[in-house]
Amino acid sequence: MTFVAGSTSTARRVLERLVAGVDGWAATSIEEIDHSSALVGVAWYQDHFHRVEAFALQRQDMWLVRHHEPPKVSYPLHDWLKDLGFRDIRWQTKVQWGLMDLGNPRPGDV
């Protein structure tokens, strides 16, 4: 998914907001890859962690957040983005992203 988070955000801060904003999820420590990307593992059931990554895009306030299964993770991520007031939320499959397709406003429409 892509969204506008504001120019003062960092990849770490985007993921910190995610971890703090979704009730009932456990999280690993956030790992900064470089100044514009970071990753975290999240779990909503025991120790079944799933990777979530945040990347700054060329446009300063635009972010790409991706996860690698299961698809149902998309729904709480979408709710979190809306609840925190992020704008221009777009959901794309990997193929859509590669084709520079704008995607859809909700995860179920992908």
Of 1 and 55, more confident = 55
Q: How far out from the chain centre does Cα 43 lie? A: 14
Q: What per-residue confidence (pLDDT) applies to 64?
A: 85
Domain segments of the chain as ranges = 2-109
CA-CA distance, 43 to 37, in Å (whole number)? 20
CB atoms within 10 A of CB 108: 10
28-54 pLDDT per residue, tens: 999 999 878 999 998 878 888 888 999
- 3 in Cβ contact with 88 (< 8 Å): yes
Apex CA 17: angle with CA 12 and CA 22, to 5°? Answer: 130
CA-CA distance, 28 to 34, in Å (whole number)? 18
Q: What per-residue confidence (pLDDT) applies to 39?
A: 95
Task: Name the pTM for this structure.
Answer: 0.79
